[in-house]
Structures are given as structure tokens and as C-alpha cells.
Amino acid sequence: MASNYRIGYYYERKVKNILEKEDWDVWRSPASHSPIDIIAIKPQKGYVKIKLIQVKRTSREDIKAEYFKYDIDNLKEFAKKYKDCENIEIELWIFKKQDRNPYIMKISS
């Protein structure tokens, strides 16, 4: 059985690969104990777009916000710092064990 660290590493790398295919510059923040696992930056016309992402995996059949309340609350608190920054998106990416594509939840303060 894989450790939580290895599972987290796998899904963080998966997010990194998805975003890099979309021309984002991407960095992982391993073992940071912060609400952010992935930082992604993409130049746009005249500005830079930034994604700050928490990555989760679940074995549940359905995805409900209540299952991720702790993570959502942490991200909402974190988002308060950036509430006036239109170029920053804070997201929770949730992978169901059997699905290839994540469910992406946008977080705002």
C-alpha cells in the first residue's frame, strides 16, 4: 500500500503535467504544510495569471464540499490576502480514485 506522501506526490505531479501541457510554468511545494501544493504562472497579454492550487484525492463516489470543509476553509482564509488581485486564482483540485480528470473547485474569500 502506498503512503499518503507517495499518493500526494503522484497527484501533484499529475496536476503539474496537466498545467505544463497548457503552457503554464509550474512548481510543486512539497511537504510545505501550507494550503498550497502547486504554484502555476502563465504570461498573458500585458499581465501574468497565477494559480495557487491544493490537490486532494478521494476514494468517495461523490464529491461534496462538506467532505473537504477543512481544506476549503483554509483556502478561503488564504484567499483573503489576494482578494483584490484579479490575476490570482485559488483552486482545490480533487481527484476521484478511478477518474483521470480532476474536479476543480474555485475558491474565493
Q: Which residues contact 108 (CB under 8 A, 6 or more apart)?
A: 76, 79, 83, 90
Q: What is the CATH number of the domain that holds 88?
A: 3.40.1350.10
Q: Which residues contact 11 (CB under 8 A, 6 or more apart)?
A: 55, 56, 57, 93, 95
91 neighbors 82 (Cβ within 8 angstroms):
no
Domain count, the chain: 1
Give the residues across from 57 on adjacent strands. 95
Q: Which pLDDT score is estimated for 109?
A: 65
Q: Which pLDDT score is estimated for 88?
A: 92
Q: Select from 82, 80, 99 the least CA-distant residue to 11.
A: 99
84-101 tens-digit pLDDT: 888 999 999 999 877 788
What residues make up the domain containing 33?
A: 4-107
Q: Which pLDDT score is estimated for 24?
A: 97
Using DSSP's 3-state secondary structure scheme, residue 34 falls into coil
* CA 85 – CA 92 distance, rounded (Å): 18
Does the pLDDT value for residue 45 go beyond 70?
yes
* CA 27 – CA 36 distance, rounded (Å): 11
